[in-house]
Structure 1
Amino acid sequence: MRGPHNIWRLIRTGATFERSGAMKLALEEMQVTPRLQLAARIMGWPFKALGIKGDANLPPITQAITALGPAYIKFGQIMSTRPDVVGAELADELRMLQDKLPPFSMREAKAQVLAELGSPVEVLFSEFSEPIAAASIAQVHRARRADTGEEVAVKILRPGIERAFRKDLDAFDFAAALIEFVAPASRRLRPSDVIAHFESVVEGELDLRLEASAALEFFANTQHDKGFAVPRPHLDRSARRVMTMGWVEGVPLGDVAALRAAGHDPMVLGERVLQLFLSHALRDGYFHGDMHQGNLKVTANGDIVAYDFGIMGQIDEYTRRVYAEILMGFIQKDYRRVAEVHFEAGYVPRDRNVVDFARALRAVGEPIFGMDAEQISMARLLAYLFEVTERFGMQTRTELLLLQRTMVVVEGVARSLNPSVNMWHVAQPVVETYIRENLGPRAALRDLTRTARVLGRFGTRMPEIVEAALLRQIEPAPEPIRPSRWRELALVAVGGALVAAGVALAGLL
């Protein structure tokens, strides 16, 4: 059964944090109230011996997260970019999760290259270094191609990573179902759909053939972007568990002191990261979905270089226009227009009041303007946004989850480089350019031309299409299958057990 196994997994999560000493530190750093801190400690202490020991040489929180597995590490990577949420000290500790994890052995790495590419490392590469970076899913070796002499980076998946990730995702899926059962109000946020979406993204990250293809597409889209570069993938040296790309020397974007020593301006780099992300999302509808400091470097000439294309985001043209209008409305403080766009796109039920929604959005947006970023508590702002969306019945849009998450990560990266960055001011020129090119008269003419082309292609079949659609509308829906009384009783019993488990787990998580 999945349920008992996952209850055990979640209990062990809290126990591992307690055993490593991370529970107390995390709660204090995130400024949880003393009463909740005490409750969490009391709930976690009896299970302390059940926790995973981990590497005692690592700091407590990093020790707990690395012991728990790759999905937890991914979460820690994201939080490392949010010092305003988790605190500066905790963010610094979590940053080592990005590319400083313990590597696996050279023997295992060479065995995977042989199995995937069909030839030993010594034949394919004239040079092949020890691991230079190790992250949650893979590690990277510096190498040189034997045939061309070109310097490359070879990425190799961790042995057994697929099974480990699926085990974590299974527990997350169970936790989402538990949350929906214990707190019915949470269903509007569709936690289970959110986890399903995250799972689909992770599946792509575990197949390096897909990553190589994504890198090639991203390279083509961005090759003319000033101040940005993507290493070209080598498809003839890539397979499901091994990927080879061009090597680019650079300073890690997370090392601010080294950036300054190399003559780079962190404030300029912070603004450029934000503008590049928005440009890729709006202009191309295809963006890097994991833009934390561990995946970004700065070359000697000042270019920002992106790595790790396992998580890429894609949004259609209509959604891009909606997103741009919402951003522009906030930038111009036109909250009525922002509210109208939400209603027009179907993000808010039509039975809600647009004026009230605009007023609520104003309460969210106004504190942002005229303030430095370090004065804004993103935790408080996100909490208030949650209250607003709950009141107006908005549902989580799973297709926008990656875009929203990446926006949070990118803003955190920019803030680590320039604490006073104002994302709205930096975003304005990018959004204005997109709106001018895609929402003006030329865009309308382009849309009409495209519509006419489609109608010309399907014009002769339009009567059949309309008739088939009308018939589907008037056909009676099938009767729903009602569960038996015994099944209903079983569901009630299981539900009661889950509620009890949920109360216990609330103190741990």
Structure 2
Amino acid sequence: MERTGAMKVAMDAMEAPRAFRILARTLVWPFKWVGIKGDPTLPPVTRALSALGPAYIKFGQVLSTRPDVVGTELAMQLRVLQDELPPFPRDRAIKTIEAELGKPLSELFSEFSEPVAAASIAQVHKAKSAQDGRDVAVKVLRPGIERAFRKDIDAFYFAAWMIEHLSPSSRRLHPQEVIAHFEGVVNGELDLRLESASASEFRANTQNDEGFSVPAIDWRMSARRVMTLEWVDGISASDTQKIDAAGHDREALGKRVLQMFLSHALRDGFFHADMHHGNLKIAPNGDIIALDFGIMGALDEYTRRVYAEILFGFIQQDYRRVAEVHFEAGYVPADQDVDAFARALRAVGDPIFGMDADHISMARLLSYLFEVTERFGMETRTELILLQRTMVVVEGVARSLDPRINIWEVAQPIVESYIKDNIGPKALARDLLSTARVLSRFGPRLPKLAEAMLTAQNNPTPAPAHYSAAKSALWLTVGGGIAAGFGALIALTFG
């Protein structure tokens, strides 16, 4: 960072305190000449992150979506990291394809272009299928990418270990667990068979979503290091000038990006967790096309309900309820003060509601949020990392399309719809019915269970060890049926 000049640029963009700048430069300057040189044609921060390796590039991609945090100029520079990195030679890609698919390229594709996009993990070529003549996109992993990521991950583990030992207060953030979570995500991204499966599932979930589409996967020409999918034409979500020239409504697009993310996270519990500009295109008909499914997020039903209640509480400015949900879910230690936490949340929420989006300093807001988590002893929840990260990225994309977007107004109909269907009498009835279905598996065993109970009751000798289990299973099954019937009655009454 120091050798490329990125240290000063980054600290200026993040408005780092003067004392911190002096300390950092003093400690780092002696090592300046052993730093990585990087590509001198790139701006300082972009040059440093691209030289450091793929894991650092991922970090730069997140920052590129947040001009309100790092500044407009730096955010624009970092967008190069999304899909405009230096490609590797076409010949290397061909060798990988032939080795993975076990056939010469000519039998697979009648045409195969030079790279059309290159990112940290892989690059994309446009090709024409030799079987049916369709245009397809062929994604090929970078040579040696597994080794490069392993090196980065090892460095991150070492840094996390150092942080935990040198700063005891940081242990609530679980640095090493965060890196382990990141490692799992990365390992999934390095196997394109898993990405193909994610893309296929995501396409199935979203096929009825108006104004949103996912390309189809060609499984015949996909393997661990190669992924083939239908070719789609569109304008990059970052190119606002071309979007305007094409006559698309950027305000509607910004709203749709945010609502689609929330809908996928809450409705399906399976969402695109890398929705930066480089992975979104605007089709000629105005549809948003999602690409690159290496990082996907998953939420269980309970977490979705907690997340929805928190969002709904902020929308309603009911900070007391937001605080209670945090305590109920165990996100805040039970020994903390609910009212004090509610007031801290109000300090976060009220300024957002009372101010235009272009006047909100996200850098200061994020800084205050971090202070709040520290003050109330909140620990990092690894199951929420991808959700929180994606929310930051998606909001940044939406703001780039519509700088005046009000995220709470846009989110309200999606969250209210989820709350109506999943928290209340209908949800209770559905949960009870699900419980009954699980318990109904004991159905074929009910006669034997009943016979065992009756025999044990008529037998004066001590009941066998399995008697209590049989009795419990029987009453659970009967009780589950009664509960399911009661739940159905509630649903009919209030539905």
Query: How many angstroms does 1:121 deviate by?
Result: 1.5
Distance in 2 separating the partners of 1:465 and 1:170 = 51
**Structure 2 counterpart SS, 1:346:** coil
* Partner residue in 2 for 1:422: 406
* Partner residue in 2 for 1:238: 222
Question: Where does the alignment leave 5 or more consecutive residues of structure 2 unmatched?
Answer: 444-448, 450-465, 473-495
Distance in 2 separating the partners of 1:31 and 1:356 = 29
For CA contacts below 8 A with separation 6 or more, give which structure has more relative contact order: 1
**Structure 1 counterpart SS, 2:3:** helix
Query: How many angstroms does 1:172 deviate by?
Result: 0.8
Q: 1:298 aligns with which of 270, 274, 282?
A: 282
* Partner residue in 1 for 2:436: 452
* Partner residue in 2 for 1:286: 270
Asked whether the equivalents of residues 14 and 363 of structure 2 are also in contact (C-alpha less than 8 Å), the reply is: no
* Partner residue in 1 for 2:482: none
Q: Does 1:335 align with 2:319?
A: yes
**Structure 1 counterpart SS, 2:379:** coil
* Partner residue in 2 for 1:502: none
Task: State the Cα RMSD in Å.
Answer: 1.7
Distance in 2 separating the partners of 1:400 and 1:220 = 24
Distance in 2 separating the partners of 1:205 and 1:350 = 37
Query: How many angstroms does 1:84 deviate by?
Result: 1.2
Q: 1:438 aligns with which of 411, 417, 422?
A: 422
Query: How many angstroms does 1:441 deviate by?
Result: 1.7
* Partner residue in 2 for 1:7: none
**Structure 1 counterpart SS, 2:2:** helix
Counterpart amino acid of residue 215 in structure 2:
P
Q: Does 1:403 align with 2:387?
A: yes
Between 1:433-442 and 1:329-338, the stretch displaced more is 433-442
Please report the TM-score for the alignment, with normalisation by the length of structure 1: 0.86
* Partner residue in 2 for 1:115: 99
Between 1:267-276 and 1:350-359, the stretch displaced more is 350-359
* Partner residue in 1 for 2:199: 215
Deviations 1:109-168 (A, max 9, x none): 000001100012221001110000000000000001000111100000000000000110
* Partner residue in 2 for 1:190: 174
* Partner residue in 2 for 1:487: none
* Partner residue in 2 for 1:70: 54
Query: How many angstroms does 1:408 deviate by?
Result: 0.4
After superposition, the Cα gap between the structure-2 partners of 1:216 and 1:91, relative to the gap in structure 1 and judged at 3 Å, is same
Query: How many angstroms does 1:462 deviate by?
Result: 10
Deviations 1:308-353 (A, max 9, x none): 0000000001110110000000000111111111111121222222
Query: How many angstroms does 1:465 deviate by?
Result: 9.9
* Partner residue in 1 for 2:259: 275
* Partner residue in 2 for 1:177: 161
After superposition, the Cα gap between the structure-2 partners of 1:128 and 1:463, relative to the gap in structure 1 and judged at 3 Å, is farther
Please report the TM-score for the alignment, with normalisation by the length of structure 2: 0.89
Query: How many angstroms does 1:37 deviate by?
Result: 2.2
**Structure 2 counterpart SS, 1:31:** coil
Distance in 2 separating the partners of 1:437 and 1:191 = 37
Asked whether the equivalents of residues 357 and 405 of structure 2 are also in contact (C-alpha less than 8 Å), the reply is: yes
* Partner residue in 1 for 2:67: 83
Q: Does 1:256 align with 2:240?
A: yes
Distance in 2 separating the partners of 1:463 and 1:312 = 44
After superposition, the Cα gap between the structure-2 partners of 1:462 and 1:399, relative to the gap in structure 1 and judged at 3 Å, is farther
Query: How many angstroms does 1:375 deviate by?
Result: 1.3
Distance in 1 separating the partners of 2:326 and 2:468 = 33
Q: Does 1:131 align with 2:115?
A: yes
After superposition, the Cα gap between the structure-2 partners of 1:225 and 1:463, relative to the gap in structure 1 and judged at 3 Å, is farther
Aligned residues: 452
Q: 1:323 aligns with which of 286, 307, 322?
A: 307
Distance in 2 separating the partners of 1:35 and 1:268 = 44
Distance in 1 separating the partners of 2:81 and 2:336 = 44
* Partner residue in 2 for 1:26: 10
Question: Where does the alignment leave 5 or more consecutive residues of structure 1 unmatched?
Answer: 1-16, 468-509
**Structure 2 counterpart SS, 1:19:** coil
After superposition, the Cα gap between the structure-2 partners of 1:443 and 1:58, relative to the gap in structure 1 and judged at 3 Å, is same
* Partner residue in 2 for 1:153: 137
Computing the radius of gyration from Cα coordinates, the structure with the larger value is 2
Counterpart amino acid of residue 107 in structure 2:
V
Query: How many angstroms does 1:356 deviate by?
Result: 1.8
* Partner residue in 2 for 1:480: none
Query: How many angstroms does 1:290 deviate by?
Result: 0.1
Query: How many angstroms does 1:35 deviate by?
Result: 3.1
User: Pairwise mapping of residues 345-364 of structure 1 onto structure 2 (< 5 A)?
Assistant: 345-364=329-348
Between 1:453-462 and 1:237-246, the stretch displaced more is 453-462
Distance in 2 separating the partners of 1:380 and 1:157 = 38
Asked whether the equivalents of residues 5 and 44 of structure 2 are also in contact (C-alpha less than 8 Å), the reply is: yes
Asked whether the equivalents of residues 196 and 293 of structure 2 are also in contact (C-alpha less than 8 Å), the reply is: yes
Query: How many angstroms does 1:458 deviate by?
Result: 4.9
Distance in 2 separating the partners of 1:115 and 1:462 = 60
Deviations 1:251-291 (A, max 9, x none): 00000001000111211111110000000000000000100
* Partner residue in 1 for 2:128: 144
State the identity as a percent: 68
Distance in 2 separating the partners of 1:353 and 1:209 = 48
**Structure 2 counterpart SS, 1:20:** coil
**Structure 1 counterpart SS, 2:39:** coil
Counterpart amino acid of residue 138 in structure 2:
V
